[in-house]
Amino acid sequence: MNYSRPDLLEQLAASHVLGVMRRGARARFERLCQALPIAQLARQRWEDRLLPLALALTPVAPSAGCWQRIQQRLGAQPHRKGLGWWSAAAAASLVALLLVGRLTIWSEPDWQDRAVLATADAPPAWRLESTADFGEISVRSLNVPALPADRIHELWILPVNGGNPVSLGLLPASGDIRRKLTAAQQSLLAAAAQVAVSVEPTGGSPTGVPTGPVIIVAEVRRPI
């Protein structure tokens, strides 16, 4: 079966999430999801799309023993007991810290997760966040793949209209960066479904479009 056909993957993912597949076909699709990130992504999209059908059902309170049985199965974990005055003081400091934290957060822009940049076979390399209006991005380095000394990673918007990728700048090898976007970058990113990472000469692509291998294509997350 040719799994690179997007319509076929969509069909399989939808049937899996809906639950109409037979056992063999279900298991095959689950294996496919582990091997093919695009299949996994199609499945997640359908899980999100159909979630309201689950939420349409009226919640039912579980019986009292249900949580206890989960705890028993996980194995008893000792409670911290009787730390007395010190723990009350620690709790008070924690609450104070949380309050200060919230006050600080209030003065910050509202950062939203936009994409996890990961190659197919490795843990996430970067996490991309942006402000709600896409006016500023923040990139956090996680497990950045190693590169020769004369190469660097560059981040690109893949415009929805299929036009040339537009650079969002160079990616850090470690640490976090923040970058204000131009109005043009902002509107392209706001509309984009995907971003990509390519390997470029130090200083970035000399031509304004990716010249080296594209190692990551990631979906842009937005509140649905």
Partner 1 sequence: MQARDESFVGAKLIIVFKWSLNPDRFLLRIEDMDQGRAHPLDNQELELLLQRCAARDRAALQLLYTRCAPQLLAVLMRMLGTRAAAEDVLQDAFIRIWEKAAQYDQIQGRALSWMVAIARNRAIDVQRGGRPTVVLEAADLAGAEQLRVVGPADGAEFSATYQTLQHCMDLLAAAQRQCLLLAYQGGLTHERIAQSVGQPLGTVKSWVRRGLQSLRSCMES
Report whether 157 contacts 149 (CB < 8 A). no
Query: Is 79 or 213 the residue whose CB approaches partner 1 more closely?
Result: 79
Alpha helices in the chain (DSSP H): 6-18, 23-35, 37-55, 65-74, 84-106, 183-191
**CA neighbor of 165 nearest in space, from 132, 204, 137:** 204
105 binds partner 1 (CB under 8 A): no
Measured distance CA(139)–CA(128) in Å, rounded = 5
136 binds partner 1 (CB under 8 A): no
One residue of 2, 34, 77, 207 binding partner 1 per CB under 8 A: 77
162 binds partner 1 (CB under 8 A): no
3-state secondary structure of 125: coil
As a whole number of angstroms, the longest Cα–Cα distance in the chain is 66
10 binds partner 1 (CB under 8 A): yes
Q: Please report, as residue ranges, which positions from 34 to 63 form the binding site for partner 1 (by CB under 8 A).
A: 41, 44-45, 47-63
26 binds partner 1 (CB under 8 A): yes
> What residues line the site for partner 1 (CB under 8 A)?
10-11, 14-15, 17-23, 26, 41, 44-45, 47-63, 66-67, 69-70, 73-74, 77, 79-82, 84, 88, 91, 95, 98, 116, 118, 123-124, 219, 221, 223-224
